[in-house]
Amino acid sequence: MKIHLDLDCFFAAAHRIDNPALENIPIAVGGRSNTNIFNSGKKTRHLSKVNGAFTSSLLSCDGDISFKEYFLDENGKVRGIITTSSYEARAYGVKTAMSVSEALRLCPDLKMIPPNYPLYHELSNRLKILLEKEIPIIEQFSIDEFFGDITGWIKDEDAIEFAIKLKQKIKDELKLPISIGIANSKWIAKLATNDAKPDGVKLILQEEIDSYVKDKPLKSFPGIGPAFQDKLKGYGVKTLGDIKYKKELFYSWGKSGQQIYDRVCGIDNEAISVREDKKSIGLGRTFDPISCRDEIKRRLIILCRHLSFIAHKSSHKPSTFGLNIKYQYGAISKDSINSNRIFSEQFFKEQIVSMFNSIDNHPSHAIVQLNISLGNFRENKPITLNLLNLEEDTKLSNLTASMQKLRDKFGVDIIKSGSEL
Report pLDDT digits (tens) over 182-235: 999 999 999 999 999 999 999 999 999 999 999 999 999 988 999 999 999 999
Report pLDDT digits (tens) over 239-254: 999 999 999 999 999 9
Report pLDDT digits (tens) over 67-109: 888 888 878 888 899 999 999 999 999 999 999 999 999 999 9
Given pLDDT bands bounded at 50, 70 and 90, which one contains residue 386? Answer: low
* Statement: residue 356 has pLDDT above 60: yes
pLDDT for 67 equals: 85
Please say whether the beta carbons of 334 and 324 come within 8 A: yes
pLDDT for 32 equals: 78
* Statement: residue 283 has pLDDT above 60: yes
* Statement: residue 55 has pLDDT above 50: no
DSSP 61: B
Given pLDDT bands bounded at 50, 70 and 90, which one contains residue 379? Answer: low
* Statement: residue 51 has pLDDT above 60: no
Report the range of poorest mean pLDDT among 45-49, 120-124, 141-145: 45-49
* Statement: residue 113 has pLDDT above 90: yes
Polymer length in residues for the chain: 421
Please say whether the beta carbons of 231 and 249 come within 8 A: no
Sheet holding 145-149, edge to edge: 137-142, 145-149, 2-7, 178-183, 201-203
pLDDT for 417 equals: 73
Segment holding 149, helix H or strand E: strand 145-149
Distance, first Cα to last Cα, the chain: 56
Mean pLDDT calculated for residue range 345-355 = 93
Distance (Å, whole) CA 160 – CA 284: 42
Q: Which residues of 244-260 are buried (b: 16+ CB within 10 A; e: fewer)?
A: bebeeebeeeeeebebb
pLDDT for 34 equals: 67
- What percent of the chain clears pLDDT 70, i.e. is strictly above it? 89
In sequence order, what are the residues at sequence separation of 6 or more whose Cβ sits closer than 8 angstroms to the Cβ of residue 252? none
Burial class (CB in 10 A: 0-12, 13-18, 19+), 217: exposed
pLDDT greater at residue 49 or residue 136: 136
pTM of the prediction? Answer: 0.77
